[in-house]
Amino acid sequence: MWWAILVSAVIGYAIGSLQFGLIIGRITRGVDIREYGSGVTGATNVIRTSGAGAGIATIILDIGKGVVPVAIGIAIGHAAGLGHDDRAWAAAAAGFAAVTGHVWPVWFGFRGGKAVATGFGAALLMNPLAAIALIPVAAAIVASVRIMSVMSIAMPPVMAATYVVLAVMGVSPPAYAVYAVATAALIVYKHRPNIERLLAGTEPRIGKGGEKRADAPNAGRKSVGTR
Protein backbone atom coordinates (compact mmCIF):
# COMPACT_ATOMS: atom_id res chain seq x y z
CA MET A 1 0.00 0.00 0.00
CA TRP A 2 2.70 2.46 0.98
CA TRP A 3 4.58 2.23 -2.29
CA ALA A 4 1.36 2.95 -4.17
CA ILE A 5 0.73 6.03 -2.03
CA LEU A 6 4.31 7.25 -2.48
CA VAL A 7 4.37 6.75 -6.25
CA SER A 8 0.97 8.43 -6.57
CA ALA A 9 2.18 11.40 -4.54
CA VAL A 10 5.35 11.83 -6.62
CA ILE A 11 3.38 11.75 -9.87
CA GLY A 12 0.76 14.09 -8.45
CA TYR A 13 3.36 16.61 -7.37
CA ALA A 14 5.09 16.52 -10.78
CA ILE A 15 1.79 17.16 -12.58
CA GLY A 16 0.71 19.81 -10.08
CA SER A 17 3.95 21.67 -10.62
CA LEU A 18 2.96 22.48 -14.19
CA GLN A 19 1.97 26.16 -14.16
CA PHE A 20 -0.54 26.64 -16.97
CA GLY A 21 -1.34 30.18 -15.90
CA LEU A 22 2.31 31.17 -16.21
CA ILE A 23 2.62 29.43 -19.58
CA ILE A 24 -0.56 31.04 -20.92
CA GLY A 25 0.53 34.46 -19.69
CA ARG A 26 3.81 34.13 -21.54
CA ILE A 27 2.11 32.92 -24.73
CA THR A 28 -0.69 35.49 -24.80
CA ARG A 29 1.07 38.59 -23.45
CA GLY A 30 4.73 37.68 -23.20
CA VAL A 31 4.78 38.41 -19.47
CA ASP A 32 5.54 36.57 -16.27
CA ILE A 33 2.20 36.97 -14.47
CA ARG A 34 3.98 36.52 -11.14
CA GLU A 35 5.28 40.06 -11.65
CA TYR A 36 1.74 41.46 -11.77
CA GLY A 37 -1.30 41.70 -9.53
CA SER A 38 -1.27 39.15 -6.76
CA GLY A 39 1.97 37.60 -7.99
CA VAL A 40 0.51 34.10 -8.30
CA THR A 41 -0.20 31.87 -11.30
CA GLY A 42 -3.90 31.19 -10.81
CA ALA A 43 -6.78 32.04 -13.14
CA THR A 44 -7.75 35.24 -11.31
CA ASN A 45 -4.35 36.75 -11.93
CA VAL A 46 -4.37 35.49 -15.51
CA ILE A 47 -7.67 37.34 -16.06
CA ARG A 48 -6.08 40.52 -14.71
CA THR A 49 -3.09 40.28 -17.02
CA SER A 50 -4.20 38.33 -20.08
CA GLY A 51 -7.98 38.54 -20.30
CA ALA A 52 -11.03 36.39 -19.61
CA GLY A 53 -10.34 33.84 -22.36
CA ALA A 54 -6.89 33.10 -21.01
CA GLY A 55 -8.33 32.91 -17.50
CA ILE A 56 -10.98 30.37 -18.53
CA ALA A 57 -8.35 28.25 -20.26
CA THR A 58 -6.26 28.36 -17.10
CA ILE A 59 -9.20 27.29 -14.93
CA ILE A 60 -9.95 24.31 -17.18
CA LEU A 61 -6.33 23.19 -17.31
CA ASP A 62 -5.81 23.67 -13.56
CA ILE A 63 -8.94 21.63 -12.79
CA GLY A 64 -7.61 18.91 -15.08
CA LYS A 65 -4.33 19.10 -13.20
CA GLY A 66 -6.26 17.93 -10.12
CA VAL A 67 -8.37 15.33 -11.92
CA VAL A 68 -5.52 13.49 -13.65
CA PRO A 69 -3.36 12.72 -10.56
CA VAL A 70 -6.38 11.34 -8.68
CA ALA A 71 -7.21 9.10 -11.65
CA ILE A 72 -3.61 7.95 -11.72
CA GLY A 73 -3.65 7.27 -7.97
CA ILE A 74 -6.77 5.13 -8.35
CA ALA A 75 -5.20 3.26 -11.26
CA ILE A 76 -2.03 2.61 -9.29
CA GLY A 77 -4.15 1.36 -6.40
CA HIS A 78 -5.92 -1.04 -8.75
CA ALA A 79 -2.59 -2.24 -10.14
CA ALA A 80 -1.36 -2.84 -6.59
CA GLY A 81 -4.46 -4.89 -5.79
CA LEU A 82 -5.66 -2.48 -3.11
CA GLY A 83 -9.21 -2.42 -1.79
CA HIS A 84 -11.51 0.57 -2.28
CA ASP A 85 -10.53 2.48 0.86
CA ASP A 86 -6.82 1.83 0.33
CA ARG A 87 -7.07 3.00 -3.28
CA ALA A 88 -8.68 6.15 -1.91
CA TRP A 89 -5.55 6.87 0.12
CA ALA A 90 -3.42 6.63 -3.02
CA ALA A 91 -5.85 8.95 -4.82
CA ALA A 92 -5.91 11.39 -1.90
CA ALA A 93 -2.11 11.44 -1.75
CA ALA A 94 -1.93 12.16 -5.48
CA GLY A 95 -4.54 14.91 -5.20
CA PHE A 96 -2.93 16.68 -2.27
CA ALA A 97 0.50 16.36 -3.86
CA ALA A 98 -0.90 18.03 -6.99
CA VAL A 99 -2.23 20.87 -4.84
CA THR A 100 1.16 21.18 -3.16
CA GLY A 101 2.88 21.15 -6.53
CA HIS A 102 0.67 23.97 -7.76
CA VAL A 103 1.53 26.07 -4.71
CA TRP A 104 5.25 25.24 -4.70
CA PRO A 105 6.14 24.06 -8.24
CA VAL A 106 9.51 22.43 -8.65
CA TRP A 107 9.60 23.36 -12.34
CA PHE A 108 9.10 27.09 -11.72
CA GLY A 109 11.23 28.07 -8.76
CA PHE A 110 8.63 27.00 -6.17
CA ARG A 111 6.53 30.11 -6.99
CA GLY A 112 3.05 29.05 -7.97
CA GLY A 113 -0.57 29.76 -7.18
CA LYS A 114 -3.13 29.09 -4.48
CA ALA A 115 -4.52 25.82 -5.86
CA VAL A 116 -8.25 26.55 -5.74
CA ALA A 117 -8.99 25.11 -9.19
CA THR A 118 -6.54 22.22 -8.81
CA GLY A 119 -7.95 21.38 -5.39
CA PHE A 120 -11.46 21.39 -6.83
CA GLY A 121 -10.39 19.18 -9.72
CA ALA A 122 -9.07 16.52 -7.37
CA ALA A 123 -12.22 16.68 -5.24
CA LEU A 124 -14.34 16.50 -8.40
CA LEU A 125 -13.01 13.07 -9.32
CA MET A 126 -13.20 11.84 -5.73
CA ASN A 127 -16.90 12.61 -5.46
CA PRO A 128 -18.37 14.22 -8.60
CA LEU A 129 -21.87 14.76 -7.22
CA ALA A 130 -20.68 16.51 -4.05
CA ALA A 131 -18.25 18.73 -5.93
CA ILE A 132 -20.71 19.67 -8.68
CA ALA A 133 -23.43 20.43 -6.11
CA LEU A 134 -21.21 23.15 -4.64
CA ILE A 135 -20.62 24.95 -7.95
CA PRO A 136 -23.86 27.00 -7.77
CA VAL A 137 -22.90 28.14 -4.27
CA ALA A 138 -19.49 29.27 -5.49
CA ALA A 139 -21.05 31.01 -8.50
CA ALA A 140 -23.55 32.81 -6.28
CA ILE A 141 -20.75 34.11 -4.04
CA VAL A 142 -18.78 35.44 -7.01
CA ALA A 143 -21.87 37.02 -8.59
CA SER A 144 -22.88 38.75 -5.37
CA VAL A 145 -19.55 40.22 -4.28
CA ARG A 146 -17.56 40.31 -7.54
CA ILE A 147 -14.42 39.44 -5.59
CA MET A 148 -12.97 36.07 -6.52
CA SER A 149 -10.94 35.65 -3.35
CA VAL A 150 -14.10 35.62 -1.21
CA MET A 151 -15.24 32.49 -3.02
CA SER A 152 -11.72 31.04 -2.97
CA ILE A 153 -11.49 31.43 0.81
CA ALA A 154 -15.04 30.34 1.64
CA MET A 155 -15.57 27.29 -0.55
CA PRO A 156 -12.66 24.98 0.40
CA PRO A 157 -13.79 24.80 4.07
CA VAL A 158 -17.36 24.21 2.89
CA MET A 159 -16.16 21.40 0.67
CA ALA A 160 -14.05 19.99 3.50
CA ALA A 161 -17.05 19.97 5.82
CA THR A 162 -19.12 18.26 3.12
CA TYR A 163 -16.55 15.51 2.60
CA VAL A 164 -16.18 14.98 6.34
CA VAL A 165 -19.94 14.52 6.68
CA LEU A 166 -19.95 12.10 3.75
CA ALA A 167 -17.13 10.11 5.36
CA VAL A 168 -18.94 9.97 8.71
CA MET A 169 -22.05 8.74 6.91
CA GLY A 170 -20.04 6.06 5.15
CA VAL A 171 -20.80 7.50 1.72
CA SER A 172 -17.24 8.55 0.93
CA PRO A 173 -13.86 7.11 2.06
CA PRO A 174 -12.16 8.77 5.06
CA ALA A 175 -9.14 9.46 2.86
CA TYR A 176 -11.15 11.92 0.81
CA ALA A 177 -12.21 13.79 3.94
CA VAL A 178 -8.58 14.01 5.04
CA TYR A 179 -7.66 15.32 1.58
CA ALA A 180 -10.39 17.95 1.67
CA VAL A 181 -9.48 19.20 5.16
CA ALA A 182 -5.75 19.38 4.38
CA THR A 183 -6.38 21.12 1.08
CA ALA A 184 -8.78 23.65 2.62
CA ALA A 185 -6.23 24.48 5.31
CA LEU A 186 -3.48 25.04 2.74
CA ILE A 187 -5.67 27.14 0.45
CA VAL A 188 -6.87 29.39 3.28
CA TYR A 189 -3.28 29.70 4.52
CA LYS A 190 -2.15 30.84 1.07
CA HIS A 191 -4.92 33.45 1.02
CA ARG A 192 -3.65 35.30 4.09
CA PRO A 193 -2.76 38.44 2.07
CA ASN A 194 -6.24 38.39 0.50
CA ILE A 195 -7.85 38.14 3.93
CA GLU A 196 -5.84 41.14 5.10
CA ARG A 197 -6.92 43.16 2.04
CA LEU A 198 -10.55 42.11 2.48
CA LEU A 199 -10.49 43.32 6.07
CA ALA A 200 -8.89 46.58 4.93
CA GLY A 201 -11.37 47.00 2.07
CA THR A 202 -8.61 47.06 -0.57
CA GLU A 203 -9.07 43.67 -2.26
CA PRO A 204 -9.55 44.24 -6.01
CA ARG A 205 -12.66 43.05 -7.81
CA ILE A 206 -12.59 40.64 -10.74
CA GLY A 207 -10.43 41.95 -13.58
CA LYS A 208 -8.88 44.71 -11.48
CA GLY A 209 -5.50 44.92 -9.77
CA GLY A 210 -3.22 43.89 -12.63
CA GLU A 211 -0.53 46.48 -11.97
CA LYS A 212 3.15 45.68 -12.00
CA ARG A 213 4.26 44.54 -8.56
CA ALA A 214 6.60 46.73 -6.55
CA ASP A 215 8.99 43.79 -6.06
CA ALA A 216 9.14 43.00 -9.79
CA PRO A 217 11.69 44.27 -12.34
CA ASN A 218 10.70 47.61 -13.93
CA ALA A 219 8.13 48.12 -11.19
CA GLY A 220 7.12 51.50 -12.52
CA ARG A 221 5.41 49.91 -15.51
CA LYS A 222 1.63 50.18 -15.64
CA SER A 223 -0.87 47.35 -15.76
CA VAL A 224 -0.60 45.12 -18.82
CA GLY A 225 -4.39 45.40 -19.12
CA THR A 226 -6.84 42.86 -20.50
CA ARG A 227 -8.42 42.24 -23.84
What distance in Å separates the CA atoms of residue 174 and residue 171, rounded to the nearest whole number? Answer: 9
Angstrom distance (rounded) from CA 201 to CA 207: 16
Q: How confident is the model at residue 226 (pLDDT cuts 50, 70, 90)?
A: very low
| Residue 85: closest CA among 1, 155, 164, 154 | 1
- Asked if residues 20 and 103 have their Cβ atoms less than 8 Å apart, the reply is no
Q: What's the mean pLDDT when you consider all of the chain? A: 91
Alpha-carbon span 167 to 6, nearest angstrom: 23
Q: Is the pLDDT of residue 204 over 90?
A: no
Would the pLDDT of 218 be above 80?
no
Tens digit of pLDDT for each residue in 112-162? 999 999 999 999 999 999 999 999 999 999 999 999 999 999 999 999 999
